[in-house]
Chain A
Amino acid sequence: MSHATEGDLHAYLDGALHDLEPERAAALREHLQVCSDCRARLSEEKRWRDGAIDLLGSVAPAAAEPPPFADILAAAELAGPSDAPAGPSAGVSGRVHSGRRPGRRLTELAWAASLLIALGAGWMGRSLMTETGELERLRGLEQNRAAPESVELRQAGEETMARGNRPAEEPGDAGKAELDVRRDQLRTDAVARPGTPPANADAKGQAEAQSGGAAESATESAETTRQAELFDGGAEEDSPAPEEAARQKLAESLPESEAVDADAADMAVDDVSAADAGFARTGLDAEGAVFKANLSWMPVSREDAAHWLSHELLTVPELPIVEVAISSSDGARLVRVTQRLPSGSVLEVVEQAADPGWADAVGGRLRNEQAAPAEPKRQSADSRAQDGAAARTAVIADVREGLYVSLRAPVTPDSLAALASRLRR
């Protein structure tokens, strides 16, 4: 072959001859064996190469451990699907243009993302767990309503859909995607259904299966729009029943300690919207820490507790209050309200100002879960349900108005979620 080019020599020095055509690479190797001129040029090129490596190496950043991958994952979860075009040509999205430092933003949002993921997991888990029973419960609701109300419901649903309202509390990406699909399906059905069989054979089959095959189209429309309201989260709830009636209804519907599952489904009928809109079950274990902690509680008046918390207390208005107590942990003020359930057992509601230690705990838990191999969120929710049923104690948690709220009661997670939806200040 003729003498090697500079490019050949640099490819040789870079160990990149395999990127050249095989014949050319082989010829170059042979040529360098026999050509002293090219070997001399090879030494010359090596000096340029070494000089460049030295210069570039001198400006390399100091070696440092990368930030935890969980932070990146959490930030990606929080960011959700990007609006920026996908692919290598994608430019810089608005996040970088925001004027804030992206990495700093990522750091700031990492724990918030952890929380959001937890809430999203609860949202999704709740949706999945209640999915099969939802139509049945909704059908029970509709059976208690007059036909004209169904029309009103449908209209309200259509208005809601026209507004395109979203739930006040956005679910996580996976849950949101699922909801989007279901919302679209429901919208399609709602348009197609009045006076006609449902367009979606599967949905119809599901409805028939759950209703014994006797569904009427008007009822189905109402169900559909009711579901659309629930998933759109924009429909107003019915006016609250008078307290006494509500108390009686609660007493009827709240779980007995021996038969919590059946009653929990009834309980959830009226509370799906409220629960979906306001109080998500996280389905994760870390929130139970406040109940496991060895805290000293001091009984006080409700007013004093509210003053201690700088907030009105969250309670289930229909349930009698057994005790209000306060405590503190690592500088965080806690209030516990104990309320008696119809079964005689008690519901504990603990409110706590979210503190850095708690945020770290959630972040740490998230990282641990992400290190786990498969479906940590769903698994956690399922195992929670199983554990809760086994121990007859469920724990859920959420953040409301900046306060970390935990509930515990000897009921199933579904029942506790229904109770959570009734919390008011």
Chain B
Amino acid sequence: MSADWARLYESTYADLLRFLMSKVWDEERARDLVQETFVRALEHQPDNPRAWLFSVAANLARDEARTAIRRKRHLTLLKSEEEARASVSNRSDPAEKEERREGVRQALGHLSERDREALLLWNAGLSYSEIAEQTGLSPGAIGTTLARARKRLVEEYDAMETDRVARN
């Protein structure tokens, strides 16, 4: 049993991390939640562990987001200070990456919850069938959902980038 779980852990860790990263937007927290997800899976021994993992991960991320709201004001203040400092210095790669990350996060926020969930699950490597199982959509509807989600994501991101360039 442990060997099977160890293999599943090795093969799913990166997918779950990517999924949770685009949910909580904090790499350390995402890693914590991946571990927590696996601990729960070991406790519950679900029949369909891969699907179970992503379901629990989504729930954990949702709860994490509620907690994050309470931190938001403080973080926003810190963020504005960081941006002020960054604006007066040369932009390093990490700063650009962080800026892009924030843009993607905001763009994803414009998607409906169902579209976003399907997109992030697909991005984490789940098949259409698995996404259907997670979201309750029919497998035949996943393509349409993903098409809408992808287009909206790119459009929203481009729009924000255009605004930012115009402001600068």
Contact = CB atoms under 8 A, between A and B. Distances in A.
Nearest to A6: B147
A58 interface: yes
Contacts of A84: 40
Interface string A1-42: 000011111110010100111001000000000000000000
B135 to A, nearest CB: 12
Given A11-B143, A91-B59, A59 B104 contact: yes
Given A11-B143, A56-B22, A58-B97, A75 B151 contact: no
A63 B14 contact: yes
Nearest to A58: B100
Interface string B7-50: 00110011001100110010111111111101110111010000
A59 B40 contact: no
A76 B104 CA distance: 34
Contacts, number: 179
Interface residues of A, number: 58
Interface string A49-92: 10111011011111100110101110110011110101111111
A103 B14 contact: no
Given A16-B128, A76-B43, A6 B144 contact: yes
Nearest to B26: A61
**What size tier do the contact residues of chain B reach?**
35 or more
B2 A73 contact: yes
A81 B40 CA distance: 9
Contact of B36 (A9, A14, A88, A103): A103
A370 interface: yes
Interface string B131-151: 010000001111111111111
Interface stretch (A94-102, A132-140, A285-293): A94-102
A45 interface: yes
A425 interface: no
Contacts of B104: 55-56, 58-59
A174 interface: no
A290 B59 CA distance: 46
B166 interface: no
B126 to A, nearest CB: 11
A21 B35 CA distance: 37
A75 B143 contact: no
A82 B36 CA distance: 12
B140 A7 contact: yes
B159 to A, nearest CB: 13
Contact of B18 (A61, A80, A373): A61
A69 B154 contact: no
Given A87-B46, A106-B39, A5 B144 contact: yes
29 contacts: A6-B143, A7-B142, A7-B146, A8-B143, A9-B143, A9-B147, A10-B143, A11-B128, A14-B122, A19-B128, A19-B132, A48-B151, A49-B150, A51-B154, A55-B107, A55-B153, A58-B100, A59-B21, A59-B22, A59-B100, A59-B104, A62-B27, A67-B31, A76-B42, A79-B39, A82-B43, A84-B40, A103-B32, A103-B35
